Amino acid sequence: MKSLSALSIRVQLTLLAAIFVLPAAGIIVWSGLRSREEKIQEARVETQKLAAAIAAAYESRLAAAQQLMTALANLPAVKARDPAVQHLLRDMVALNPDYANISIADAAGDVWASANPGRFNIADRRHFQGALATGRLASGESVTGRVTSRPTFFFGYPFRDARGEIAGVISVGFDLRFVRLLESSRLPPRSSFSLTDRNGIVVARAIDAEPYVGRPISPALLAAMVDGPDEATNIGPSLTGEYRVQTYRKLRLAGEQTPFLYVRAGIPYAGVIAGANRALARNVALLLSFFLAALAFASVVGKRTIVDRIARLESASHRLAGGDLGVRVGELVRGGELGRLGRSFDRMAEQLARREKALQESERNLLQAQKMETVGRLAGGIAHDFNNQLTAILSNSEHLARALPGDEGAIAGDIRDAALRSARLVNQLLAFARKGPSRVVAVDLHRTVDEVVGLLSRSIDKRIQLRTRLEAAPALVRGDPDRLHTALVNLALNARDAMPDGGTITFETRRVELDAAACAAVPFDVSPGPYLEVRVVDTGIGLSEEVRAHLFEPFFTTKGVGMGSVLGLAEVYGTVKTHQGAITVESAADRGTSFALLLPAVDGVSPEPRSERTQGRPTPTYPLRVLIADDEQNVRISLGLLLRTGGHEVIECANGAQAVRTHKADARRIDVVILDMMMPDMSGREVLAKIREVTPDVPVIVSSGFSKGPDVEALRGESAVFYLAKPYTTEQLERALAKACNET
């Protein structure tokens, strides 16, 4: 079976056709042979019947002749050798054509009465001798009649005189030609027969007698009859040498050992089997043509329905393997199992194409994420260092602005303003790098949208309509309300810029469920679950592929210098990352753009009131004894200056270990600690832990350029710990101090 399946389909089909034809071929050949056997059997029976018929004809004639001879033998005229008997014999021969002659000889063999004229001696004849010897009917041999010159077979019968002594022999010669009668009338078709005497001489033959009559048959043929049973049938060479189905039968007189005649009847073997052979040949020819037709059918139909269709599938597989994912065969290979295979192939190709697309997409996403990560790290690093410098510039310029009179004071104020603007930029960069200050509270995004819409409606071009479709319920997320507010404002301002001739900005919210596939499809680290989707949809100019590729990169803009926010989308990007969310964009040139923020949804928490913005300035507590721990000298100096200007007493420490030591030495007198989170020797956390060992309740203001690092996050929940983002103004510093001292 294994080697069968290794063959080509065409060969298999041919084999199948052959297998189907084989039994039919077997049946045809078998029945052909059987019918040949039947014909041969029929011929055997035929020859047996014929031999029996001829034997019967002979025997009946012989019986009649015997009857005649017995009657003659009892005639007183015969016993008396009356010559008048001659007339009687002549009349008898004339009446019966079977008799060639009837004669009566005396005991010496001299014929004294004969139907045919002539006087002769028959003492040398076998039938004469036999009759004399046995006193009964005796057979003779075939001879050419001495008077008639016709082939004649003689029988002798003795007659007795008045004393009962054998006085002579009555001879009856049969004209062997009588057998010709059978030739035309009673002979079955094709059959013939011959008579052979005991010496093997052919004495009569039904057909074509001339060349054979009077000649001996082959010794083998004679021996087979002499030695064989009284009757036998076989297939073998006849006296003409031709193969025949033939039956011989021995004719013998009662009391005689040796047959006096052999009857042989035969039918040519070739003729017997010719009909069966013809039928067999016709059936084989029919079968062969059926087989050839089946082969042609298998070849043509098999080629069209199987081979060609498989070839199409094969070529499609090659193309698919070669990377042509668009190849489909469903239309080319229809119907049946192959059709189903074709459809499966198409489904597989579609699946592959989808996977390939998804793979490309995720590769693109990965690259995009890596790129943004790198840019974010770079931006974050620069911003952090820059922040420290800005803190110093800001504090010092504020101090100078206050201390210096006139123009110089004004210049210091300008420096302060420039530092503040830079601080804002740095904050944006940090937001993009996900390192800016950040709060985490429950936020109702519908309220945020309302605020943004309110803000825009007062400032935006009147040709732009603002719409909302707020379907999320509830619209709660956890995060920084300010940063989310800023993100929506940034998106809205971009939408505005994309519609210089007016249009519509729609804010939409709804809750969506992201599954694993949806999460994998966005270049953000999001996990499956419920999300709040906030869409900002415009009807503006849309995004080109080029713009799309760089959309979230910091400082990427298509707007003129000073026109855009520069870090707008980069900041939005950082915000969604900070919130474990994602941002997606859909756009078509001239058909607008739709940005969707996806933020993990939360249920069942009430949003924090946005009280902080309206909070009044806290009352500072003077004078405070403040311990500063910061490895950055600029920061220490500027911060010290600010605090001292504010009337506070300052103890400066350049690293963590020094801060711990100093605090321990003078713990009772230290009102508040301002702690940098990132110092080379000890982290802010470690320093805090040491301080807490001595005074568990001293307020500690953690000051950092980052809002997110693990250290800051870990400190968020701790009591008496406050957060002050770098860089800060005097006002922010004083508010932090006040809060720290009032709340503890």
Give the tokens for residue 138.
């005796």
Interacting residue with ligand ADP among 558, 584, 732, 744 (CB under 6 A): 558
Q: Which residue is nearest to ligand ADP (CB)?
A: 564
**CA separation for the pair 220, 213 (Å, rounded):** 18
Please say which residue, 337 or 546, places its beta carbon nearer to ligand ADP.
Answer: 546
Q: Is 498 in the site for ligand ADP (CB under 6 A)?
A: yes
Choices 10-18, 182-190, 198-206, 491-499 (CB under 6 A): range interacting with ligand ADP: 491-499
Distance CA 69, CA 554 (A): 152
Angle of helix 568-578 relative to helix 481-497, nearest 10 degrees?
150
End-to-end Cα distance, the chain: 91
The yes or no reply on residue 495 touching ligand ADP (CB under 6 A) is yes
* Adjacency order of strands within the sheet including 582-587: 464-470, 503-514, 529-538, 593-600, 582-587
- Candidates 103, 246, 427, 565; binder of ligand ADP (CB under 6 A) is 565
By CB under 6 A, is residue 290 in contact with ligand ADP?
A: no
Please report whether residue 632 would count as binding ligand ADP according to CB under 6 A: no
What distance separates the 2 farthest-apart alpha carbons in the chain? 207
Interface with ligand ADP, residue 175, by CB under 6 A: no
User: Judged by CB under 6 A, does residue 486 bind ligand ADP?
Assistant: no
Rule CB under 6 A: is residue 564 a binding residue for ligand ADP? yes
User: Does the protein bind ligand ADP through residue 539 (CB under 6 A)?
Assistant: no
CA distance 489 to 128: 156
- For ligand ADP, which is the closer residue by CB, 43 or 551? 551
Q: Tell me how far, at minimum, the Cβ of 571 lies from ligand ADP, in Å.
A: 8
Which range binds ligand ADP by CB under 6 A, 115-123, 151-159, 311-319, 568-576?
568-576
Give Cβ neighbours of residue 253 (< 8 Å, ≥ 6 apart).
62, 137, 138, 139, 155, 260
354 sits near ligand ADP (criterion: CB under 6 A): no
Min separation Cβ 559 and ligand ADP, Å: 4
Q: What are phi and psi of 238, to 5 degrees?
A: -90, -170
Taking CB under 6 A as the criterion, the residue among 318, 463, 559, 669 binding ligand ADP is 559
Strand partners, 511: 532
Tell me which DSSP letter residue 305 carries. Answer: I
Other Cβ atoms less than 10 A from the Cβ of 167: the count is 20
Which of residues 342, 481, 568, 656 is near ligand ADP by CB under 6 A? 568
Could you give the string, one character per residue 590-609, with x where binding to ligand ADP holds by CB under 6 A and - elsewhere?
---x----------------
CA distance 744 to 721: 9
Q: Is 733 in the site for ligand ADP (CB under 6 A)?
A: no
- To ligand ADP, the closest distance from the beta carbon of 552 in angstroms equals 7
Interaction between residue 569 and ligand ADP (CB under 6 A):
yes
CB of 590 to ligand ADP, least distance (A): 11
Q: Is 503 in the site for ligand ADP (CB under 6 A)?
A: no
Establish if 551 lies at the interface with ligand ADP (CB under 6 A).
yes
* Residue 98 DSSP label: T
**Nearer of residues 474 and 523 to ligand ADP, judged by Cβ:** 523
| CA–CA distances in Å: residue 712 to residues 97, 431, 718 | 152, 15, 10
Closer CB to ligand ADP, 28 or 541, in the complex: 541
Judge whether 559 and 566 are in contact, CB under 8 Å: no
Binder of ligand ADP out of 246, 494, 539, 638 (CB under 6 A): 494
Total number of residues that touch ligand ADP (CB under 6 A): 21
C-alpha neighbours within 13 Å on the C-beta side of residue 283: 18
In contact, 533 and 583? CB cutoff 8 Å: no
Closer residue to ligand ADP (CB): 47 or 557: 557
Using the rule CB under 6 A, is 508 a contact of ligand ADP? no
- The b-or-e profile of 310-333 (16+ CB within 10 A means b, else e) is eebbeebeeebeeeebebbbeeeb
For ligand ADP, which stretch binds (CB under 6 A), given 161-169, 195-203, 566-574, 684-692? 566-574
Q: Indicate the pairing of strand 166-175 with strand 99-106.
A: antiparallel
Binding site for ligand ADP (CB under 6 A): 490, 494-495, 498, 538, 540-541, 543, 547, 551, 556-559, 564-566, 568-570, 593
